[in-house]
Amino acid sequence: MKTGSCLCGSVTYEVWGSLRPIVACHCIQCRKTSGHYVAATQTESSHISIKGNSLKWFRSSERAERAFCSNCGSNLFWRRPDSQHISIFAGTIDGATELKMESQLYTKMAGDYYAIPDVPCIEQSTLK
């Protein structure tokens, strides 16, 4: 089991079962919400327990909802409204994750102030 939280500890979570390797996303929305690119893992929605009443979901597009702590502003989760999965921002996991970055998305939108990680890029057309 893995645990995690926001910066102030108002939102906590527990995840059981396996986590997907890290995927980095360089899209404009991820960059705007995180201040950089997002590095996230993923699990089935039924494999996570989230606690805390300061968690707020924001519908950022037709395809995406993002969750953050309304007290400290930490970005925690991303999901598609019709999906059975939830993405977890890797930096919010407590302790060692034992995960590695496996791939990335939207590298053509990457900021000009950082180097693109040396992992494969998943083409946008292959996303479901």
Residue 24, pLDDT score? 97
Task: Enter the tokens of residue 33.
Answer: 């919400």
Please name the residues in contact with 82: beta carbons below 8 A apart, sequence gap of 6 or more. none
Domains and CATH numbers, the chain: 2-21+38-100 (2.170.150.70)
Q: Determine the Cα–Cα distance for residues 55 and 70; give it in Å rounded to an integer.
A: 6
Which 3 state secondary structure label does DSSP give 35?
A: coil
| CA distances (Å), origin 76, targets 11, 72, 89, 94 | 9, 11, 5, 12
Do residues 117 and 101 touch, judged by C-beta distance below 8 A? yes
Stated pTM of the model: 0.92
* pLDDT tens per residue, range 76-124: 999 999 999 999 999 999 999 999 999 999 999 999 999 999 999 997 6
- Paired residues of 77 in beta bridges: 67, 88
Average pLDDT, the chain: 94
